[in-house]
């Protein structure tokens, strides 16, 4: 079991601000709050990228209500596609694609996770294969993809791992620090951040 020892209070949340190496894409949200330590790691990562490359963030903090908005259609779709599955099977499969809003919630709810891509200085996005938040086999980071897409995925993972963030293996775009997933992946028994609500 993973325990949580809060390292920052909700009052310590800060907002991402665009720079010439860090872009905010409002496709998913306009709420750019994040834990200060996570923001600092992401900014450091963006500044360490090769010339001409930038980070483009699509989502940071996510409220529990927003998490339910993402969860409900996925569980409905999986339920409809698999009428013979038990509730436990449906819940487990849905949990691969969207963190359950109940119980411990997602790293986004803790203000400890981002959804991110690499982009060029002109804001054009590099190709990563499949849609961000796409519920398909191509979403896992290690899924077999073309050499160019593999290079982009590996570069993103390497850059963010270099500042201490981890990638959720079923989503090439999701990275976190200090949340429950981070603790599990790094074999720790303590997370730093719990959901804010």
User: Based on the structure, what is the number of domains in the chain?
Assistant: 1
Phi-psi region of 52 (alpha: psi -120 to 50; beta: other; left: phi over 0): left
pLDDT band per the 50, 70, 90 thresholds, residue 28: confident
Q: Look at residue 197 and tell me if it is in a domain.
A: no
Strands (E), 36-157: 53-59, 113-120
Q: Look at residue 157 and tell me if it is in a domain.
A: yes
> Who's near 194: CB < 8 A, 6+ residues apart?
4, 6, 104, 110, 180
Distance, CA of 44 to CA of 180 (rounded, Å): 23
**DSSP code, position 134:** -
10 has pLDDT over 70:
no
CATH (domain of 125): 3.30.1380.10
Q: Look at residue 84 and tell me if it is in a domain.
A: yes
Q: Look at residue 196 and tell me if it is in a domain.
A: no
Q: Look at residue 79 and tell me if it is in a domain.
A: yes
Strand partners, 53: 120
pLDDT tens digits, one per residue of 47-100: 999 999 999 999 999 888 888 888 899 899 999 999 999 999 998 888 887 888
Q: Look at residue 83 and tell me if it is in a domain.
A: yes
Q: Look at residue 12 and tell me if it is in a domain.
A: yes
Q: Look at residue 140 and tell me if it is in a domain.
A: yes
pLDDT tens digits, one per residue of 88-136: 999 888 888 788 887 667 889 899 999 999 999 999 999 999 878 766 6
Give the C-alpha distances (Å, rounded to integers) separating 134 from 130, 140, 177. Answer: 7, 10, 23
Q: Of 160, 159, 115, 119, which is closest to residue 19 (Cα–Cα)?
A: 119
pLDDT band per the 50, 70, 90 thresholds, residue 8: low
First to last CA, the chain: 21
Secondary structure (3-state) at 53? strand
Q: Could you tell me the residue range of the domain that residue 111 belongs to?
A: 3-191
């Amino acid at each position: 079991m993973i325990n949580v020892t809060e390292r920052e209070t909700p009052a310590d949340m800060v907002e991402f601000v665009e720079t010439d190496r860090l872009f905010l894409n409002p496709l998913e949200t306009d709420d750019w709050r994040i834990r200060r330590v996570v923001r600092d790691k992401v900014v450091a990562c963006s500044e360490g990228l090769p010339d001409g490359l930038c980070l483009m963030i699509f989502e940071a903090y996510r409220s529990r209500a927003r998490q339910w908005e993402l969860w409900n259609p996925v569980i409905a779709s999986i339920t409809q596609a698999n009428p013979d599955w038990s509730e436990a099977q449906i819940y487990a499969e849905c949990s691969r694609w969207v963190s359950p809003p109940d119980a411990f919630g997602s790293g986004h709810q803790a203000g400890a996770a981002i959804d991110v891509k690499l982009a060029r200085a002109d804001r054009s996005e590099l190709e990563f294969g499949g849609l961000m938040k796409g519920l398909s086999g191509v979403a896992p980071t290690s899924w077999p993809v073309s050499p160019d897409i593999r290079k982009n995925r590996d570069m993103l993972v390497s850059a963010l791992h270099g500042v201490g963030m981890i990638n959720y293996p079923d989503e090439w775009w999701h990275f976190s620090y200090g949340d429950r997933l981070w603790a599990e992946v790094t074999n720790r028994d303590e997370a730093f951040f719990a959901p804010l609500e």
